[in-house]
Amino acid sequence: MAFATTNPATGEVEKSFDAHTPEEVETRLARAHAAFGTMRSMSFGERARLMHSAADLLDAENPDIARILTTEMGKTFAAAKAEVSKCALGLRWFADHAAELLTDERIDDHSFVRYDPLGPVLAVMPWNFPLWQVMRFAGPGLMAGNVGVLKHAANVPQTAVYIEELFRRAGYPDGAFSTLLVASTDVAAIVEDERIAAVTLTGSERAGAAVAEVAGRVLKKCVLELGGSDPFVVMASADLERSAQVAVTARVQNNGQSCIAAKRFIVEASAYDEWCDRFVAGMAALTVGDPMDPGTDVGPLVSQTQRDEIAAQVEDARAKGATVACGGAAPDRPGWYYEPTVLLDVTTEMRVLQEEVFGPVATVEKAADVEDAIRIANRTQYGLGSSVWTTDAEERDRLVAGIQAGQVFVNAMVASSPELPFGGIKRSGYGRELSGLGIKEFCNAKAVRQGA
- Tens of pLDDT along the chain (452 residues)? 679 999 999 999 999 999 999 999 999 999 999 999 999 999 999 999 999 999 999 999 999 999 999 999 999 999 999 999 999 999 999 999 999 999 999 999 999 999 999 999 999 999 999 999 999 999 999 999 999 999 999 999 999 999 999 999 999 999 999 999 999 999 999 999 999 999 999 999 999 999 999 999 999 999 999 999 999 999 999 999 999 999 999 999 999 999 999 999 999 999 999 999 999 999 999 999 999 999 999 999 999 999 999 999 999 999 999 999 999 999 999 999 999 999 999 999 999 999 999 999 999 999 999 999 999 999 999 999 999 999 999 999 999 999 999 999 999 999 999 999 999 999 999 999 999 999 999 999 999 999 97
Q: In whole angstroms, give the CA distance from residue 342 to residue 329.
A: 11
Cβ burial of 45 (10 Å; 0-12, 13-18, 19+) is exposed
- Which residues, including other chains, have CB under 8 Å from residue 308's CB and lie 6 or more apart? none
Calculate ∠ Cα 12-13-18, nearest 5°: 170
Burial status of residue 123 (CB atoms within 10 A of its CB: 0-12, 13-18, 19 or more):
buried
CA distance 340 to 322: 16
Q: 3-class DSSP state for residue 266?
A: strand
Which three-class secondary structure state does DSSP give residue 101? helix
What is the SS3 string spanning 75-137?
CCHHHHHHHHHHHHHHHHHHHHHHHHHCCCEEEECCEEEEEEECCEEEEECCCCCCCHHHHHH
Beta-carbon-side half-sphere exposure of residue 444 (alpha carbons within 13 Å): 13
Sign of the CA dihedral running 155, 158, 161, 167? negative
- In whole angstroms, how far apart are CA 61 and each of 70, 135, 137? 14, 15, 21
**Residues identified as active-site:** 225, 259
Give start and end residues of each alpha helix (H) in 170-303: 187-192, 205-217, 240-252, 269-284
The predicted structure's pLDDT at residue 1: 67
Number of neighbours of residue 412 by Cβ within 10 angstroms: 12
According to DSSP, the residues that pair with 200 across neighbouring strands are: 123, 223
The 8-class DSSP code of residue 433 comes to B
Q: What is the pLDDT of residue 2?
A: 78
Angle between helices 157-169 and 44-60 (to 10 degrees): 130
The pLDDT value given to residue 220: 98
Amino acid 191: pLDDT? 98
In angstroms, the CA 170 to CA 173 distance is 9
User: Side chain identity at 240, as an amino acid letter?
Assistant: L
- Does this model's pTM top 0.75? yes
DSSP state of 19: P
Q: In what order do the strands lie in the sheet with 409-410?
A: 323-326, 341-344, 361-367, 262-268, 230-234, 387-389, 409-410
Task: Determine the pLDDT at residue 452.
Answer: 73
C-alpha to C-alpha distance for 382 and 229, rounded to whole angstroms = 6
- How many other β-carbons are positioned within 10 Å of the β-carbon of residue 72? 26
Measured CA to CA, the distance from residue 53 to residue 176 in angstroms comes to 15
Q: Please name each of the domains of the chain with its CATH number.
A: 2-226+428-449 (3.40.605.10), 230-410 (3.40.309.10)
Residue 161 has a CB neighbour count (10 Å cut-off) of 18
Instruction: Choose among 268, 276, 278: nearest CA to 377.
Output: 268
Phi-psi region of 197 (alpha: psi -120 to 50; beta: other; left: phi over 0): alpha
